[in-house]
Amino acid sequence: MADIHAACFTQPRPWSAAEFADLCASPLCQVSTLEGGFAITRRAGPEAELLTIAVHPDARRQGKARALLTESLTELQSSGCEEIFLEVVADNHPAIALYKAAGFTELSYRKDYYNGVNGSKSAALVMRKIL
Ligand SMILES: CC(C)(COP(=O)(O)OP(=O)(O)OC[C@H]1O[C@@H](n2cnc3c(N)ncnc32)[C@H](O)[C@@H]1OP(=O)(O)O)[C@@H](O)C(=O)NCCC(=O)NCCS
């Protein structure tokens, strides 16, 4: 997971193997995986958050993220979760297209939310889907 994440992200920064081990060990987290990609959600009562979704650059545009997201959402829904939120860098058009196609809508815009390299800042979109 850490290798795929590092191949996918500079901002937010890639997460370490130790951070993934902690997430995978948490009873609140649900992990969906397939060859070249994964998604992690975290449950908080009736709500969940999509913590991350990543597909290695060599495995993109094959429907893998859609399959991961569908699996995650289906499992949350069947366990009684009512809504899911996510944050995404506001100019991450592939991810935003993925989320909109899955039924997420824009909830708010957070200016200068992410810290980038060389002191740069990026806005975030907060998105939500009712399950
Ligand atoms: C965003 C990401 C997960 C998409 O993974 P993927 O497996 O290539 O996506 P899929 O093939 O399942 O595409 C599903 C839909 O997402 C949208 N989409 C995916 N990549 C896209 C792109 N490059 N441009 C426009 N839309 C895109 C499309 O709506 C697509 O449906 P379509 O193929 O019928 O047009 C992948 O690009 C990635 O890992 N990016 C880096 C990490 C990242 O940004 N994660 C999200 C952070 S919040």
Tell me: pLDDT of 107 over 90.
Answer: yes
Instruction: Assess whether pLDDT exceeds 90 at residue 99.
Output: yes
CATH T-level assignment (fold) for domain 2-130: Aminopeptidase (3.40.630)
pLDDT tens digits for range 20-73: 999 999 999 999 999 999 999 999 999 999 999 999 999 999 999 999 999 999
Per-residue confidence (pLDDT) for residue 49, from 0 to 100: 98
Q: Give 13-17's long-range contacts (Cβ < 8 A, gap of 24+).
A: 15/52
Q: How far is CA 52 from CA 41, 56, 79, in A?
A: 7, 13, 20
Q: Whole-angstrom Cα distance, residue 89 to residue 92?
A: 5
Residue 119: pLDDT over 90: no
Per-residue pLDDT, averaged over 94-101, amounts to 98
pLDDT score of 29: 97
Check if 55 has its Cβ closer than 6 Å to any atom of ligand 1. yes
39 lines ligand 1 (CB under 6 A): no
pLDDT confidence of residue 11: 75
Check: CB of residue 38 under 8 Å from CB of residue 74: no
Q: What is the pLDDT of residue 115?
A: 84
Say whether pLDDT at 89 is over 80. yes
In this structure, the residue with its CA closest to atom 34 of ligand 1 is 63
**Binning pLDDT at 50, 70 and 90, where does residue 83 land?**
very high
CA 18 to the chain's CA centroid? 18
Mutate to test the pocket of ligand 1, among 11, 98, 104, 122 (most ligand atoms within 8 A of CB): 98
pLDDT, residue 65, reads: 98
- Inform me whether the pLDDT recorded for 8 exceeds 80: yes
- Phi and psi based region of residue 8 (left: phi greater than 0; alpha: psi -120 to 50; beta: remaining): alpha
Domain ranges, ordered by start, for the chain? 2-130
